[in-house]
Structure 1
């Protein structure tokens, strides 16, 4: 059963519900995973998305921040909602499609501004969250699974606009890259996006602070789409919808997509 999956940090699903609707109409993914919904789950505008054919919706929400959701045109049932690092945050939801594929939707903590856990609690929480992800994958190796989300780490040198200038900036520091790499290795996850787009600079986030984000193009690839080796080879057509960053009242992130023939 082929299906297309998209992941998008929407930065307030209620504020940007019209953008979600536009993506659902124009890109028509079968499954859309959202992060940073900034809404209690019951207040997400389900009816607006259901009217476009997305009858199934899973999620966890919080007022004003965090929050994850999965919208699907395909039947999907919830299998877990993990609280890594014991933060009490809405940062994970997982569902299983009828073909047995499990989709994990993660929103990893951003980590604050200072890359030092001794002086920045949020940075320590981020590292602990990634460590718990690693340990969970080691304890129960995933099978027939896809992992998507805003992982808040740009791991490769060409995942940022300047490797040298961002080495001490949260999201690209060596310690964060190492922690993400350990979590990826623990689950034997394949970076599907980079498997299909192996060379060149590739970004999914551009700061609101840039007066002309497109001209400056100082982006980072913070949003990821991974799969376990048993289904990674069934993926194709990976793409990053850069133009979405130019929509009216956009999120600072853009959708990342891939199609799976499973």
Structure 2
């Protein structure tokens, strides 16, 4: 039975509850993974989502920062949460569907503004977080798994509006790209979005700073859907819903979708 999964950095689920409800109503994914919910679990606006049929969920949260949640029409059970790099942040939660697929929802640290861990602690935390993700994948050898989320790195040259101009900008520096590649290789993860859309510029984030983000189009592909090789060939219909970035009071991220015939 096919199911459609979406991932979206919502940048405050309580502030943008209406946008989440609109996406669920218009697109009706079976599973929606949210990042940067910025809410304690007990204050998440789940009633509105339950009314739309999303009666299953797992979440980790904290006041005002970070936070991850998996909403689902399909029954699921919690499959753990990790505190990589020992930050004490709500940045990961996992759930297992009845078909045996485990979904990992990640919000990787952004890393601050300066790509030098010697002067920017946040950048060091980002690299350490990715190293722990790599080590977990290497040890666990995940199977029948999907990894999604705001990984805060645009790895390919065509995942950013200007490879040359962003080489020294956090999210596209060579050291970040290498750390992400090591994480991907450790779990043999397949980048489902680029499996489906192998060529061309592709973005999921546009800065709030641009007066007209759509016209400037200085985007980056920071949001990802990966799958283990045993199920990656079942994935198809990948898409990024760019128009959502233009909704009223939007997140600076657009949702990313994929369908799995499993």
Q: Would the TM-score normalized by the shorter structure come out above 0.5?
A: yes
Q: By how many angstroms is 1:42 displaced? A: 1.1
2:240 corresponds to which residue?
A: 240
For 1:252, the equivalent position in structure 2 comes to 252
Is residue 51 from structure 1 mapped to residue 58 from structure 2 by the alignment? no
Q: Report the Cα offset of residue 41 of structure 1.
A: 1.0
1:27 equivalent in alignment to 2:34: no
The whole-number CA distance in structure 2 between the counterparts of 1:239 and 1:41 is 29
| Alpha-carbon separation, structure 1, partners of 2:53 and 2:12 | 21
Could you tell me how far apart the structure 1 residues matched to 2:14 and 2:224 are? 23
Q: Deviations over 1:52-82 (max 9, x none)?
A: 0000010100100100000000001001100
Partner of 2:67: 67
Map Cα deviations across residues 177-227 of structure 1 (whole Å, 9 max, x no partner).
Answer: 000000000000000000000000000000000000000000000000000
Aligned mates of 1:34, 1:247 — CA distance in 2: 17
d(CA) in 1 for partners of 2:223, 2:42: 25
Flag structure 2 segments of 5+ consecutive residues without an equivalent. Answer: none
Distance, in Å, in 2 between the alignment partners of 1:52 and 1:65 is 26
Q: 2:133 matched to which residue of 1?
A: 133
Secondary structure of 2:211's aligned partner = coil
Q: Residue 120 of structure 2 corresponds to which residue in structure 1?
A: 120
Query: In structure 1, how many angstroms separate the alpha carbons of the residues matched to 2:217 and 2:136?
Result: 36
1:6 corresponds in structure 2 to 6
Give the structure-1-normalised TM-score: 1.00
User: What is the match of residue 208 of structure 1?
Assistant: 208
| CA root-mean-square deviation | 0.3
Task: Report the 3-state secondary structure (helix = DSSP H, G, I; strand = E; otherwise coil) of the residue aligned with 1:182.
Answer: helix
Q: Which runs of 5 or more residues in structure 1 are unaligned? A: none
For 1:94-147, what per-residue CA distance to the aligned partner results, in whole angstroms no more than 9, with x for missing partners? 000000000000000000000000000000000000000000001110100000
Structure 2: distance between partners of 1:197 and 1:226: 13
Q: Distance in 1 between matches of 2:42 and 2:22?
A: 22
The residue that corresponds to 2:105 in the other structure is: 105
TM-score for both structures, normalised by structure 2: 1.00
The Cα of 1:17 is off from its aligned counterpart by 0.3
Which residue does 1:182 correspond to in 2?
Answer: 182
Moved over 3 A (4+): none
**Are 2:36 and 1:36 aligned?**
yes
